[in-house]
Amino acid sequence: MDSSVLVSCFVILNLFLMTIPASGGKSRHFRWEVEYMHWSPDGLEGVVMGINGQFPGPTIRALAGDTIHVELTNKLPTEGVVIHWHGIRQIGTPWADGTASISQCAINPGEKFAYRFKVDKAGTYFYHGHYGMQRSAGLYGSLIVDVREGDKEPFEYDDEFNILLSDWWHKGSHEQEVDLSSNPFRWIGEPQTLLINGRGQYNCSLAGQLSHSPTSQCKLRGDEQYAPRLLHVQPRKTYRLRIASSTALASLNLAIGNHKMMVVEADGNYVHPFAVDNIDVYSGESYSVLFTTDQDPSNNYWISVSVRGREPKTPQGLTILNYRPTSASKLPISPPPAAPAWNDFKYSVTLSKQLFALKGTPKPPARLDRRILLLNTQNFIDGYTKWAINNVSLVLPATPYLGSIRYGLTNAFDQKSPPDDFGREYDIVKPAGNQNSSYGNGVYTLRFNTTVDVILQNANALKANVSEIHPWHLHGHDFWVLGYGEGKFTDKDEERFNLENPPLKNTAVIFPYGWTALRFVADNPGVWAFHCHIEPHLHMGMGVIFAEGVRRINKIPDEALGCGLTGKVLMKKNGGI
Ligand SMILES: [Cu+2]
């Protein structure tokens, strides 16, 4: 063979190897810079955390089986940063989970970190900051994974839209952090604006003329940073609407005026399709719904997002479903759809209970190896207001658990495991009798490949007759939601668990004064956060840490561990001291 042919064969082979890893799928490379920028998410200029000059950050789109490479440069002047890939299980790459103090050290200003991970399952996901309150600061974006080439979704549609929901405060995230950590406690209050794809209206309303609200009708040219992105549709087609919520606080309800929606996906897992007029979306959740444009095509229709679960002090977030060729500037003829009453929890429970796995979804193991009951309470520690789980309020250590557990650094965190249970005599309908709790950073060590049930038990907060919604999110796994119940969980409740077709999710709520039962298999070596996805609540200690199979992890990149005690170990290893 001619040598030039050989060389070009070699080059082609090399190119092939570069783009198609041995396991199949493509590599997709991104270079991102995180920085603060002036921005008007709702018409009032403030400061947001953006990526490559964009807010929200760029959308990542990939096929199942692809490998994502994000080379992140921290261009924030004085603070660290990490990015968590919400819903991606990070199988084999626990150091890429993007949780400061858990899976890695925060990336210092001026430094780079390479996230490299596989997206193994089609679905609607998103990414967000996971250090301090950087999600509240606007560090988030969408991550959409399509089915592998040649594979089909178990439903059909003509086209799709993507909606990322968030909430926005005019007070900066740093001031919010100080408020939450102060004594006497200062609550951050309700958000000023709800954002749809990073856009909301504070000084005006898209529906001003229709809703008789004191807020005036928006006069927009369309090129403002806060002008809504309209959804342009053709009549008589079926669309997939992907919805994810990156809110810091708000539980939301989304409706499309005059249109029913068919729920088909939740948190990257297919569900048995069911029709709804509107859908509750909690922070950390994602859904896909299908809708058909079967209404009068000479009108446009509202897409509205409303606050649920807390007394709403925030106007609805709005955008418009524009039936082509009707003019996009024609206002819908009726006011935006109203959400169910904010405190109609029965409605929310009923919606959650309608979620079942699509046939063919893996079923949970029938037997469990360990049950962990987690009581959610609001407490005081030395006069500071905190959230506690089994009376322990989480404070993250300086050294990332992944490194300290892998290298056996026993002085990096409390080696005593937090409790698996709470006193059964605890009265969940009253504020805690003994309101003092304590800080902790101990870990729940799960035996590798065992089946774990977590029962999340809600209770009364510090104020009488108040119990809040908390959406709990698990890193590194999906879990089966086996059931919801009212009051205090008892062993007898286990008989009512759904082991036939429970939905697989990564985020599930506990309702006021209720419990939620989850099951998962501890089969992903790593250290994983499990926490309330309400960012101020996590900041106030509402989370726990699970570790499993950490000894099996062999190749944690040094860049992930260059801080705290692991930083010192690495310095020694590399001949530094
Ligand atoms: Cu919470």
What confidence tens digit (pLDDT) does each residue in 226-235 have? 999 999 999 9
Q: Give me the residue label for tokens 């994983």.
A: 528
pLDDT in tens, 358-377: 999 999 999 999 999 999 99
- pLDDT of 66 over the 90 cut: yes
CA of 468 to the centre of ligand 1 (A): 7
Ligand 1 center–CA 542 separation, angstroms: 7
Percentage, residues of the chain above pLDDT 90: 90
Question: What residues contact residue 52 under an 8 Å CB cut-off, 6+ apart?
Answer: 32, 33, 58
Q: How far is the CA of 395 from the centre of ligand 1 (A)?
A: 15
C-alpha 95, offset from chain centre: 18
Here the tokens at position 574 are: 């590399």
User: Which amino acid is it at 577?
Assistant: I
| CB-based contacts of 300, cutoff 8 Å, min separation 6 | 320, 321, 322, 323, 326, 328, 330, 331, 332
> Quick one: how far is CA 188 from the chain centroid?
20
pLDDT at 10 over 70: no
* Confidence at residue 436, expressed as pLDDT on a 0 to 100 scale: 83
Say how many C-beta atoms besides its own lie within 10 A of residue 575's C-beta.
6
- d(CA 94, ligand 1 centre) in Å: 25
Q: Tokens at residue 201, please?
A: 């209206």
Categorize the per-residue pLDDT at 18 as very low, low, confident or very high, splitting at 50, 70 and 90.
very low
- Cα of 259 to ligand 1 centre, how many Å? 32
Q: Is the pLDDT of residue 17 over 90?
A: no
The Å distance, Cα 73 to ligand 1 centre, comes to 31
- Smallest CA-to-CA distance from 87 within 116, 123, 114, 113 is with 123
Whose structure tokens read 């004594």?
183
CA of 282 to the centre of ligand 1 (A): 11
Ligand 1 centroid vs 510 CA: distance in angstroms? Answer: 9
Q: How far is the CA of 531 from the centre of ligand 1 (A)?
A: 8
Which residues are bridge partners to 471 per DSSP? 509
* Between 212 and 299, the higher pLDDT residue: 299
Nearest C-alpha neighbor of 456 from the set 369, 370, 514: 514
288's tokens = 């896909």
User: How many whole angstroms from 555 Cα to the centroid of ligand 1?
Assistant: 34
Count of Cβ atoms closer than 10 Å to residue 471 Cβ: 22
| Straight-line distance from the first to the last Cα atom of the chain, in angstroms, rounded to the nearest whole number | 54
What's the 308 CA to ligand 1 centre distance in angstroms? 14
Average pLDDT on 148-176 reads 97
C-alpha 501, offset from chain centre: 23
Band (pLDDT 50/70/90 cuts) for residue 16 is: very low
Q: How far is the centre of ligand 1, averaged over its atoms, from the C-alpha of 251 (Å)? A: 11
User: What residues contact residue 275 under an 8 Å CB cut-off, 6+ apart?
Assistant: 260, 261, 262, 263
Residues linked to residue 400 through DSSP beta bridges, in sequence order = none
Closest CA to 293 of 364, 241, 349, 348: 241
Tell me what pLDDT residue 576 has: 64
Q: pLDDT, tens digit, for every residue of 111-129?
A: 999 999 999 999 999 999 9
Band (395; pLDDT cuts 50, 70, 90): very high
Q: Kindly give the distance from the C-alpha atom of residue 250 to the centroid of ligand 1, in angstroms, as a whole number.
A: 10
Confidence band of 7 (pLDDT split at 50, 70, 90): very low
Residue 21 has pLDDT above 70, yes or no: no
SS3 214: coil
How confident is the model over 475-528, as pLDDT tens digits? Answer: 999 999 999 999 999 999 999 999 999 999 999 999 999 999 999 999 999 999
pLDDT recorded at residue 560: 97
pLDDT for the residue numbered 434: 74
For residue 434 the two structure tokens come to 């003994």
User: What is the model's pLDDT at position 446?
Assistant: 98
CB within 8 A of 434, min separation 6: which ones? Answer: none
pLDDT of residue 4: 44
Token readout for 116 is 């490299």
CA pair distance 309, 281, nearest whole angstrom:
11
Task: List residues, by chain if needed, whose CB lies under 5 Å from ion ligand 1.
Answer: 470, 532, 534, 537
Give the Å distance between the CA of 239 and the centre of ligand 1. Answer: 33
In whole numbers, what is the pLDDT of the chain averaged over residues?
94
With cut-offs at 50, 70 and 90, classify the pLDDT of residue 22. Answer: very low
Centre of ligand 1 to C-alpha 133, Å, is 14
- Helix residue spans in 236-392 (DSSP H): 345-353
Q: Are 452 and 446 in contact (CB under 8 A)?
A: yes
| pLDDT at position 23 | 55
* C-alpha dist (Å) from residue 165 to 49, 159, 286: 16, 20, 10
Record the pTM.
0.94
Number of neighbours of residue 117 by Cβ within 10 angstroms: 22
Query: Torsions phi, psi of 22, nearest 5?
Result: -55, -35
Least confident of 1-5, 28-32, 237-241, 464-468: 1-5
Q: What is the pLDDT of residue 13?
A: 40
Expressed in angstroms and rounded, the spacing between residue 368 Cα and the centre of ligand 1 is 26
Q: Which amino acid is at 504?
A: L
Tell how far the Cα of 538 is from the centroid of ligand 1, in angstroms.
Answer: 7
Burial of 382 from C-beta contacts in 10 A (0-12 / 13-18 / 19+)? exposed
For 149-161, what is the mean pLDDT? Answer: 97
Confidence bin at 212 (pLDDT 50/70/90): low
Q: From ligand 1's centre to the CA of 249, what distance in Å?
A: 8
Distance 83 CA to ligand 1 centre (A): 21
Determine the distance separating the centroid of ligand 1 and the alpha carbon of 248, expressed in angstroms: 10
CB 471 within 8 A of CB 424: no
Could you tell me if residue 277 is left (phi over 0), alpha (psi between -120 and 50 degrees) or otherwise beta? alpha
Per-residue pLDDT, 364: 98
Containing H/E element for 514?
strand 514-521
Residues 190, 196, 199, 202: what is their CA dihedral angle, to the nearest 10 degrees?
-40
Instruction: Give the separation between CA 2 and CA 145, rounded to whole angstroms.
Output: 43
* pLDDT at res. 577: 53
Distance 539 CA to ligand 1 centre (A): 10
Going from the Cα of 68 to the center of ligand 1, the distance in angstroms, rounded, reads 31
Beta-carbon count within 10 A of 27 CB: 15
Q: What is the Cα–Cα distance from 55 to 316, expressed in whole angstroms?
A: 20
What was the pLDDT predicted at 20?
45
198 CB neighbour count, 10 Å cutoff: 25
What's the CA-to-centroid distance between 327 and ligand 1, angstroms? 43
Ligand 1 centroid to residue 246 C-alpha, Å: 14
How far is the centre of ligand 1, averaged over its atoms, from the C-alpha of 363 (Å)? 28
User: What is the CA(536)–ligand 1 centre distance, in A?
Assistant: 8
Identify whether the C-beta of residue 348 lies closer than 8 Å to the C-beta of residue 511: yes
Amino acid at site 484: Y
C-alpha atoms less than 13 angstroms from C-alpha of 48 in its C-beta half-sphere: 26
Q: Is residue 11 predicted with pLDDT exceeding 50?
A: no
Q: How many CB atoms lie under 10 A from the CB of residue 32?
A: 21
- Centre of ligand 1 from the C-alpha of residue 438, in Å: 18
Find the mean pLDDT for residues 57-71: 98
- 125 neighbors 86 (Cβ within 8 angstroms): yes
Please count the other Cβ atoms lying within 10 Å of the Cβ belonging to residue 47: 14
**Whole-angstrom Cα Rg for the chain:** 24
- Give just the sign of the alpha carbon dihedral 458, 451, 425, 396: negative
Cβ(115)–Cβ(69) under 8 Å?
yes
Residue 118 near residue 234 (C-beta atoms within 8 A): no
- Residue-wise pLDDT for 252-300, tens only, equals 999 999 999 999 999 999 999 999 999 999 999 999 999 999 999 999 9
